[in-house]
Amino acid sequence: MRRKPRPRDLGIAPGVLTPGPWNSLTDVPGVRVGHLTLDHDDAELPVRTGVTVVVPAAGSVFRDKPAAGLEVVNGFGKAAGLSQIVELGLLETPLALTNTLGVGAAFEGLVRHSLDEHPEIGVSTGTVNPVVFECNDGWLNDIRGLHVRPQHVLDALQAASDGPVPEGAVGAGTGMVAFGWKAGIGSSSRVVEAGDGTCFTLGVLVLANFGLAEDLTVLGTPVGRSLTPQQAGEQAEFARGAGSCVVLLATDAPADARQLRRIAKRATVGLARTGGIVQHGSGEYALAWSTTHRVPHRPSDAVRASSALAEDGPLMDLFFRAAAETTEEAVLGALFAAHPVTGVRGHHAPALPADRVAHLASPARRRTPEPPTHTS
């Protein structure tokens, strides 16, 4: 399918920092992303779901664990593996995204991958902590059919690439809806200059499945007041109790777990800029990790030397800004990239009319919203 314009192609460029070459999570060296999409009608009900995996760093992340920080914005979710991240501040497997009732299968897929890659697990060392995030795609997908299986995670890992990240209705994003419009996977990145000639990259991938139609905001313009998706009332009711957004942030800067949690918190700024209000029934999670601040599974000494970012001065603020800008752009990227999808019970998620959004959000326009029009 032909790639749709990304936000920047239409003049929608949130923030002031410069994106990386792909403007994607994979601009961070060593990070790879893979999708497995399940989109077919040969079951009793339409299947609109899938798996997205993120390989968080080069090499073995079990034997050389990336530092990580987690921010639970609203814990209305069924994610797996988070308590160990909070306790230890480390990752040790790839990350999987899928639908709410596919968490168990995705967990097993990550376990199988880890056992295949590391024969010492459960024999000469302990077990492993797979990390799975989820959003509810039951508006479009036959979620009761439990179509995601462990092999799908293995297939997605096999397909993982460090190239541009496919966005929209792909992988875990196949059945996701945001602000009443078809959404799913989005990605973005920013270059952070340290001031001494050193540059770091912060990249983001989101699984966007949240927000009410009337709240959608682009570059500060409340475009949702002028755009009404088909079945907006029904979708808004669904979103009030069944949304969610997962934000994954990677950087090659040597940040420690505490600093990474601080960076992860700023993803909420990007979500708010798009119109998200973190509803009662919406699970919002942000996870940040460093590809260069790594901890060996078996330390060689009792005391480990490590480096971290200096927090006095402008550098941390630049990372906070990068987290906000990339999250905002990634959510918009998910909306701009997605194609319309019809799913279970005839529910339909239309594609966002990107050209009209770009017109409404143009800096040259007055900030007065147009009267609503219905778009199928």
Query: Edge-to-edge strands of the sheet including 47-55?
Result: 32-40, 47-55, 95-99, 131-135
Q: Are 215 and 251 in contact (CB under 8 A)?
A: no
Q: Are 290 and 67 in contact (CB under 8 A)?
A: yes
Tell me which residue has tokens 């490590």.
Answer: 306
Among this protein's residues, is 370 annotated catalytic? Answer: no
Catalytic residue among 188, 189, 244, 290: 244
Distance of CA 270 to the CA centre of its chain: 12
Give me the half-sphere count of Cα atoms (radius 13 Å) on the Cβ side of residue 117: 19
Amino acid at the residue 237: E
CB proximity list for 332: less than 8 A, separation 6 or greater = 7, 12, 14, 186, 218, 274
Among this protein's residues, is 284 annotated catalytic? Answer: yes
Among this protein's residues, is 376 annotated catalytic? Answer: no
Type and span of the H or E element at 191:
strand 184-193
Structure tokens at 89: 């501040």
Alpha carbon distances (Å) from 131 to 33, 52, 54, 111, 375 = 15, 12, 10, 10, 38
Type and span of the H or E element at 171:
none
Query: CA nearest 203: which of 226, 187, 185?
Result: 187
Alpha carbon distances (Å) from 78 to 46, 107, 123, 132, 178 = 23, 12, 29, 9, 19
* Tally of residues, the chain: 376
Question: No. of H helices and E strands in the chain?
Answer: 8, 15
Catalytic residue among 282, 290, 325, 328: 282
Rg (CA), the chain: 20
Q: What is the largest CA-CA distance in the chain?
A: 67
As to burial, measured by CB atoms within 10 angstroms (0-12 exposed, 13-18 middle, 19+ buried), residue 304 is: exposed
Active site residues: 244, 282, 284
